Amino acid sequence: MDAAVDLKNIENVLRGIVIPSPPQIIADLQMEMAMPDPDMSSMAALISKDAGLAGAVLKTVNSPLYGSSREISSIAQAVMMLGMQTIMDIINTLCLRQATTDVEKMTDNVYSTLTRFWDSAADVARVCGMVGKKIGLSPLDNAYLLGLFHNVGIALMIVKHDSFLDVMSDSYAQSEVRVVDVENDAIGSNHAVLSYFVARSWKIDSRLCRIISMHHDVNIFENPNVVDSSENVLLGVLKIAEHIVGLHRILGNQQVDQEWKKIADNVMLCVGLTSYELDDLKAQAAELGYGQQLYFR
């Protein structure tokens, strides 16, 4: 566990925030995928038992994001065509979003804000996958899960603290201190630590949980020779995805990505990308509709 997550201060960090637990379907599917020879038909049967989830999965896989040339009409067909890991990524996204969005207990404004947040979170996860594929990262699902879970604490903060959007805007405006430092000063906690606890609750790999807990501790990139750590590479992939999607504008309401300005050159060196390759990734993301251009038309 990263030093940012101090077990002695858990009670103060959480401050009455309930960490959502994964639904049973997640555990069942994780168990199936951990088998030496995972069974696609068993996975499809598990999903099909939950009519609401199955319907949401089919709606997602038939959206333009997945570019299917013909309509996918069954979960079994979806698993066969897209693969078990892609379907698992979709289910994680749907279930995590549902677990943090209780429509009956929130105002229309909070619901609208959470919808915007989760749309951006899904974009970051997908772009993490794109960047990971570009640099030959394996397994790719680690990049997707990192992008999906790294900011989930923001969703909890938005619901808990009325002032959190203002705090977040202030945090993204800073050039000298970390985003999480501003949150700690304002409300005594930060979204990276909360995201860590959610990821741990959902039994995400401990290495990813550790990266999540310190994803704004970007001083690691101040050393341009740090290129041999797989965790640093994963963190670099996340930082690139955040920048491409434009979280500094979508979440922070800032025109300039202050964090990226400080670390851009060293992050690119760490993951092994050129500026031309970054521009190509930006163009791909824009063509697929990922990122800030979708939110600010």
What is the phi-psi region of residue 47: left when phi exceeds 0, alpha when psi lies from -120 to 50, beta otherwise?
alpha
Q: Supply the pLDDT for residue 297.
A: 40
What's residue 6's pLDDT? Answer: 53
DSSP structure class, residue 180? H
Classify residue 3: in a domain, yes or no: no
End-to-end CA distance of the chain: 41
Look at residues 138, 168, 166 and name the one whose alpha carbon lies nearest to residue 233: 138
Q: Does a structural domain hold residue 238?
A: yes
Q: Report whether pLDDT(14) > 80.
A: no
Whether 172 and 261 share a structural domain: yes
pLDDT tops 70 at residue 245:
yes
Residues 62 and 170 in one domain: no
| pLDDT value, residue 296 | 42
Mean pLDDT of 57-72: 80
% of the chain surpassing 90 pLDDT: 57
| Host domain of residue 95 | 20-99
Q: Among 77, 99, 121, which residue terminates a domain? A: 99
User: Considering the entire predicted model, what is its pTM?
Assistant: 0.88
Nearby residues of 191 by Cβ (< 8 Å), 6 or more positions away: 151, 153, 154, 156, 157, 180, 183
Q: What is the pLDDT of residue 161?
A: 85
- Domain-located, residue 198: yes
- Tokens 């670099």 found at: 236
CA angle 225, 229, 232 (to 5 degrees): 85
* Residues written for the chain: 297
Task: Report whether pLDDT(1) > 50.
Answer: no
Band (pLDDT 50/70/90 cuts) for residue 187 is confident
Residues 139 and 88 in one domain: no
Closest of 155, 168, 185, 176 to residue 218, by C-alpha: 176
Could you please report the per-residue DSSP string of 187-234?
A: HS--HHHHHHHHHHHTT--HHHHHHHHTTT-GGGGGSTT--S-HHHHH
The CATH code of the domain that includes 138 is: 1.10.3210.10
Q: What is the mean pLDDT of residues 152-162?
A: 90
Domain final position from 67, 99, 131: 99
- For the segment 71-92, the average pLDDT, to the nearest whole number, is 91
